Amino acid sequence: MKALGKGSIAAIVEAGLGITRIVLWALIGLWAAAFLAYLAFVGLISTGALNPSLAELGNGQNLHIRILGSDGAAIDNVQWTDWHLIVPALLIAGVGIGGALIIVTQLRLMFLSFRSGEPFRRENANHLRVIWITMVAIELSRYVLMGLTAALLYQVQDPSVSAISLSLDGERLSTWGSILILIVLAEVFREGARLKEEQELTI
Amino acid sequence: MAIRVTLDRILLERRMSLTDLSERVGVTLANLSILKTGKAKAIRFSTLNPANC
């Protein structure tokens, strides 16, 4: 399979990145609308403008939210008014979607450069650097928001939560491993771009 | 010690164009332009002494 041109791997990946970018923009729009709607909803209930019974889903059904990742404690019977659970969850989702959009945008820019025939450029090293910094920011903000959730749960003293734990499981370690690989690749790319620039400016 | 390229000043003093210089020394116009603008990072031995390389 050829590297460039119609039907090449690059063309397929670029099309995939384009579609992903559109989907992520749509998700950001939905997320922003949901976040604002939720804040307005909670605000109206707390001021008494809305009846609190509207927060119940009917027939005894409630939201089911699993926090702290795959191995985290499951918290059942969450009401719409449990802002201390829903707001951090929405923020974690927002950071994830926003970060994914930044990463996909940078990857797309790198692919455009690759298709133009000049992949070893300083800009591409910068794109890689933005990608790993974004990944670090997403991971750290997850920890901060999880900690915030735990603090809020402790303050509210939610009876459905018996224990809160933060752990570095295999999934998270692989994320940090990927970040490390990206850091190395970004620096290798930067050095490659520098050498190419030097070669071009050798007379 | 920093290396300063004063090619543009010398060309002006001798009333010579870059094209003339290129023809006289056998270095391409593109390479002379890189040298003149101070962007050059290195010079090959073959550029310094084309007869021996």
Helix (H, G, I), strand (E, B) or coil at A77: strand
A81's tokens: 């008014």
In a domain, A3, yes or no: no
**Which residues on B lie below 8 Å from A201 (Cβ)?**
34, 39-42
Q: CA A54, CA A117: separation in Å to the nearest integer?
A: 58
- More confident site: A108 or A73: A108
Q: Select from B41, B44, B53 the residue whose CB has the most chain A CBs within 10 Å, as the one to mutate to test that interface.
A: B41
What mean pLDDT, rounded, does chain A reach?
79
Contact A68, A164 (CB under 8 A): yes
Classify residue A47 as exposed, middle or buried by CB count within 10 Å of its CB (0-12, 13-18, 19+). exposed
Q: Encode pLDDT of B30-47 as tens digits.
A: 889 999 988 888 888 888
List, for residues A10-53, the tens digit of each pLDDT value. Answer: 788 888 999 999 999 999 999 999 999 888 888 887 777 776 66
- Is A170 contained in some domain? yes
DSSP A202: B
CA A192 to chain centre: 29
User: For A196, which residue in chain B has the nearest alpha carbon?
Assistant: B41
Cross-chain CB nearest to B31 (options A197, A198, A203): A203
Domain-located, residue A29: yes
Total domain count, chain A: 1
What number is the average pLDDT over the span A63-85? 57
| A197, A198, A202 member nearest B44 (Cβ) | A202
Contact criterion met (CB below 8 Å) for A169 and A71: yes
d(CA A34, CA A194): 46
Q: Judge contact between A193 and A185, C-beta under 8 A.
A: no
pLDDT value at position A181? Answer: 94
Q: Name which of A198, A202, A203 is nearest B27 (Cβ-Cβ).
A: A203
Residue A4 forms part of a structural domain: no
This complex has an ipTM of 0.72
Whether A134 maps to a domain, the answer reads: yes
Q: Which residues of A touch B27 (CB under 8 A)?
A: 203
**How far is Cα B31 from Cα A97, in angstroms, rounded to an integer?**
48
Q: Tell me which residue range forms the domain holding A130.
A: 9-200
Best mean pLDDT range from A56-60, A87-91, A186-190? A186-190
Query: Nearest residue of A to residue B37 by CA position?
Result: A201
CA distance A190 to chain B (A): 17
The answer to whether B42 contacts A197, with C-beta atoms less than 8 Å apart, is: no
Tell me, yes or no, whether A1 lies in a domain. Answer: no
The reply to whether A2 falls in a domain is no
The pLDDT, as a whole number, for residue A133 is: 96
Residues 6+ positions from A187 with CB-CB distance below 8 Å: A125
Flag if A202 and B39 touch (Cβ within 8 Å): no
